[in-house]
Amino acid sequence: MGKSKDIREAIEAELAFDPLVDPANITVKNMNGEVALNGTVPSYPQYLEAAGAARRVAGVTNVHNHLEVVLPPGDYRDDPTLTTTANGALALNITVPDGVEASAHDGNLRLTGTVSYGSQRAAAELAVAGLTGVRNIKDDIEVSYNADPVNVTVLVQDALDRYALVADDSDVTVDTIGNTVMLSGHVDTWAERDAVVGAAWMANGVVEVDDNLFITG
C-alpha cells in the first residue's frame, strides 16, 4: 500500500512540476505500477505530456491515458478550418512525404497516406499535434512493404547495440515475422523502452512493432 501511494504521489508531484501540464482536473490511480490518468486537459499536447510525465516516475510500468481533451471555447475550430490547417502543416514539414493527408471531425484528426518509414509517420503526428483545435489523432498512415524481414531484424539489433540508453547486458531480443518487429525482454526505464521501440520503427519496411518489453522500474 505504501509503495502504491508513493508512486501516485510522485506522479502528482511530477504533473505539478511540469510547466506544460495543468494538473487541476487530473486524477491518478496506481496499482503496482499500472497507472491510470483520468480527468480532463485543455489541449492535445497536454494529453500527451501528462502521460509522458507519468512515465518519468520510477516504478511506473504502464500508463493508461484516459484523459479527455476539453477545448476552451476560443480554441474550437470547425472541421473545414482544422482540416485545412492540418494539411498545411503536413505540407510544410519536410520530413512528411507527399500524399499524407488529414481530415477533421469534431476536433479529431485522421491521418492517411503511405510512408516508407515509421519515423515519417511519427513526424506527421508531431506536425499536427500542437495545432489549436485538435482533440485527438487517429493515425491510419500505412508503411510501405519494401524491405527484407531478415535485414530488418539485423538493422534493428545493430541499432540497439549502438544506443547508449540500452545496456550492454540487455536481454532485449528482436524477432521479425513478415514486416512486423516483435520486441521482448526487460528494460529499466520508459526512456530505454522508447529508445528500443524507436529503433524498431526507424528500420525501412517496418509496418508494425509488437512491444512485449517489460519495464522493471
The answer regarding whether domain 149-215 maps to CATH 3.30.1340.30 reads: yes
Task: Copy the grid coordinates of residue 32.
Answer: 503496482
Task: Copy the grid coordinates of residue 192.
Answer: 530505454
Class of domain 2-69: alpha beta
Top-confidence residue, 196 or 41: 41
**Total count of residues recorded for the chain:** 217
pLDDT digits (tens, 9 = 90+) for 152-194: 788 888 888 888 778 778 888 888 887 788 999 988 888 888 8
Q: How far apart are CA 145 and CA 116, in angstroms?
A: 8
Q: Model pTM?
A: 0.80
Give residue 1's pLDDT. Answer: 42
Q: Which of 82, 88, 167 is nearest to 132 (CA)?
A: 82
* HSE-CB for 126 with a 13 A CA cutoff: 10
User: What is the H or E stretch that residue 161 is in?
Assistant: helix 149-162
Q: Which of 167, 174, 169, 208 is nearest to 191 (CA)?
A: 167
pLDDT digits (tens, 9 = 90+) for 51-72: 999 999 988 988 999 999 999 9
Lateral strand order in the sheet of 180-187: 173-177, 180-187, 208-215
pLDDT digits (tens, 9 = 90+) for 80-111: 999 999 999 999 999 999 999 999 999 999 99
The answer regarding whether domain 75-143 maps to CATH 1.10.10 reads: no
Tell me whether the CATH fold assigned to 75-143 matches the one assigned to 149-215. Answer: yes
* Domain residue ranges of the chain, discontinuous segments joined by +: 2-69, 75-143, 149-215
Q: How far apart are CA 194 and CA 198, in angstroms?
A: 6
